[in-house]
Amino acid sequence: MYWPCVSLNISDEKVKLYLGYCFHVFRLLGTPFYIMEHVPGRIFKNPLLPDQTPEERRQIYSSMCETLAKIHKVNITEAGLDDFGKKGACTFKMVLLYML
């Protein structure tokens, strides 16, 4: 997952800057890990946002949608991700998955 994340760094300022991927020294934490730039902000552990006002929830959800839309607009070729994963029939596969 490191390479796609690095490629997204060039596409949107909201994507955190990935500085490195540590897989040789995984014994430090017991698993490989990423080193990323610190970006100030808030972390919401409950997606229902029960502690936020309706207006704050609307703003947060709108920002999430805008960010996801920007990620989906990334030109895969320009981002250098042509060889990442299988191509084609993504929507069809998702519909089948949800029908099961």
Count the domains in the chain: 1
Task: Rank 8-12, 47-51, 86-90 by mean pLDDT and report only the highest.
Answer: 47-51
Domain span at residue 91 reads 2-99
Model pTM? Answer: 0.58
Provide the pLDDT for residue 74: 77
Residues 6+ apart with CB under 8 A from 44: 52, 60
In this structure, the number of other CB atoms found within 10 A of the CB of residue 72 comes to 7
* pLDDT tens column, 19-74: 777 776 656 677 777 777 787 888 899 999 999 999 999 999 998 898 788 777 87
Provide the pLDDT for residue 52: 97
SS3 per residue for 61-82: HHHHHHHHHHHHCCCCCCCCCC
Provide the pLDDT for residue 30: 77
